[in-house]
Chains A and B, each alone.
Chain A
Amino acid sequence: MSLTPEDVSRIALLSRIELSAAERETTREQLNGILGFIEQLQAIDTAGIEPMAHAVDVVQRLRPDVVTETDRRADFQAVAPETEAGLYLVPKVIE
């Protein structure tokens, strides 16, 4: 499988990343390279092997249901580009 320039444009749109024509071509080559690796993996016979959801074969550790965090809004908002009335401000989003 190999990606077309249109595929790359669509992925970029979904990720809200702006690509120039040159960047789109570079990105396409890089992504196709990654897909090439995946093709090598897919060539391996995995019949009878149970799929894994994670590279490490251990299970999720769980946290007790306790509130451990305190209010650090002032710290976080000190490094935010724009805030007002305790809110983070972003360019207007309309559905």
Chain B
Amino acid sequence: MNWEVVIGIETHVQLRTQSKIFSGSSIAFGAEPNVQANAVDIALPGVLPVLNREAVVCAIKFGLAVGATIAPRSVFARKNYFYPDLPKGYQISQFEVPVVAGGGLNIRVGEQEKFVHLTRAHLEEDAGKSLHEDFHGRSGIDLNRAGTPLLEIVTEPDMRSSAEAVAYARALHALVQWIGICDGNMQEGSFRCDANVSVRRAGEPLGTRREIKNLNSFRFMQQAIDYEVQWQINEISEGRAIRQATVLFDPDSGETRAMRSKEDAHDYRYFPDPDLLPLEIGADWIAEVKAGMPELPQAMQARLQTEYGLSAYDAAILTASRAMADYFVAAVAAAGAANAKAVANWVINDVRRSMVDGLRDEGGEPVASAVRGDAPGRDVIRVPAEALALLILRIAEGVISNASGKKVFVEMWSTSDSEVDAIIKRMDLTQVSDASALEAVIDGILAANQKSVEEFRAGKEKAFNALVGQAMKATKGKANPQQVNDLLKKKLGA
């Protein structure tokens, strides 16, 4: 039986403002409970919400970045439900006329590219937090988070696998950070995804969906969707119908579990909020925001290909995050455009791999001493771009071999020392290019490896490589491999 998986994603992106969306309270993370909850946030009678201009700017930036329509006039609505961390009894959101409509994102799974369509993105306020433990049978309410500005971004049901869902979430996560509207901190809840999942047999109409709430890591998203898909297929295969429900993912058991079924689902009774007037966004404002936006990843990807001759794959990796792209640009600026390809290789193979998998030595083995006391530094680039550029220049100039360059890189990454020339000197890596010194080494090797010499003369090419290897070993990798090749060929009369 061929099953098709259908996934749509809703993401709550916390906007990177100083103050709340409708009040002048701070949104700084980690404050003492309720010290950032003022009269508007705790819903005292007689207060009036006033919209934060910067939150609107963030929405405009997002709309521009995904090629969406920015509504010239949008409306705030009350979403009514009863919960103590929502003291007004309603959340201010947008319903019929959201600020952003349409647009989409390119995602990549392996070599496959796909365009995920967005339905809409709307501005809303976050709720507070409920703490259910330790208050002798009562719940504790912290309203610091109440009123934090959110942009809720909703996709069409365009994704067909957990891998595509994760690729979308990652692409969106990178984009909102790239354009500077979100800090992307998933641990602190700045980027939270809900996945709507259904399955159907090929060619049939859409199945009933279940919504997996509050996925705050990409790994959990993948696990939760995979589990949910299998569960739904099993249910249908055994003749049971799927009932629409909200489910939670339990990372410990790896299972999804229903929270509430549709029967007692909320009826939000949306209506336009009389406290807020329609939000008007003129073409001049949009143009002003656009002028201040950075080059977008897609455009930069194309530019890196044409400007430096990089492959589409390399350009995509380098523009996967703003930090990586900025690093590459700074390193190319220091090393010169002529070395751009080498910089790309170093950034992708060494810098990126060290960040993702941990530091490896020149032979690809993990370096145990790389982590010294501090965090593994997944998102910290421990070699400054200028230092990497200088290292690449020293290799290009022939001062050190490529193999020695890897050693210098490992040293810099693991010690945070970025004095390239001093490290080369200290580690005694300067390339031996003095012909007479090298000739003496090669003479010694030829004398000591008569067997390889005879094999080579008998026509075995491999024997030649063995001799090159011996020479490199004898010079501790400091010989210029090309020079060794030339000298050996000369001596062997090849």
Contact = CB atoms under 8 A, between A and B. Distances in A.
B259 A90 contact: no
Contact of B42 (A65, A71, A76, A94): A76
Given A14-B80, A14-B269, A92-B139, A65 B276 contact: no
Interface in B267-292: 267, 269, 272, 274, 276-280
A67 interface: yes
Contacts of A42: none
A42 to B, nearest CB: 16
A93 B280 contact: no
Q: How large is the interface on A (under 10, 10 to 19, 20 to 34, 35 or more residues)?
A: 35 or more
B82 A60 contact: no
Interface stretch (B49-57, B110-118, B228-236, B343-351): B49-57
B131 A63 contact: no
A93 B130 contact: yes
A93 B35 contact: no
A12 B18 CA distance: 38
By CB atoms of chain B within 10 A, which of A14, A65, A68, A90 has the most?
Answer: A65
A14 B279 contact: no
Contact of A73 (B18, B34, B140): B34
Nearest to A72: B38
A55 B277 CA distance: 9
Interface residues of B: mostly helix, strand, loop or mixed?
Answer: loop
A66 B80 contact: no
Contact of B32 (A60, A86, A88): A86
Contacts of B280: 59-60
Interface in A66-81: 66-69, 71-73, 76-77
A56 B277 CA distance: 8
Contact of B34 (A68, A86, A95): A86
Given A14-B82, A53-B75, A88-B143, A65 B279 contact: no
Contacts of B80: 14-15
Interface residues of A: mostly helix, strand, loop or mixed?
Answer: loop
Contact of B24 (A16, A68, A85, A91): A68
Nearest to A80: B42
Contacts of A67: 18-19, 24-26
A87 B272 contact: no
B313 interface: no
Contacts of A23: none
A45 interface: no
A76 B83 CA distance: 20
A47 interface: no
A62 B139 contact: no
Interface of B: 17-19, 23-26, 32-39, 42, 44, 50-56, 73, 75, 80-84, 89, 97, 130-132, 135, 137-143, 259-260, 266-267, 269, 272, 274, 276-280
Given A63-B24, A69-B25, A76-B39, 20 more contacts: A14-B82, A14-B267, A53-B97, A53-B272, A60-B280, A61-B51, A62-B51, A63-B52, A65-B53, A66-B19, A67-B25, A68-B19, A69-B38, A76-B42, A76-B44, A84-B135, A89-B135, A89-B141, A90-B84, A90-B141
17 contacts: A59-B73, A60-B276, A62-B52, A68-B19, A69-B24, A69-B36, A69-B38, A72-B38, A72-B39, A73-B32, A86-B32, A86-B142, A87-B142, A90-B84, A92-B138, A93-B130, A95-B259
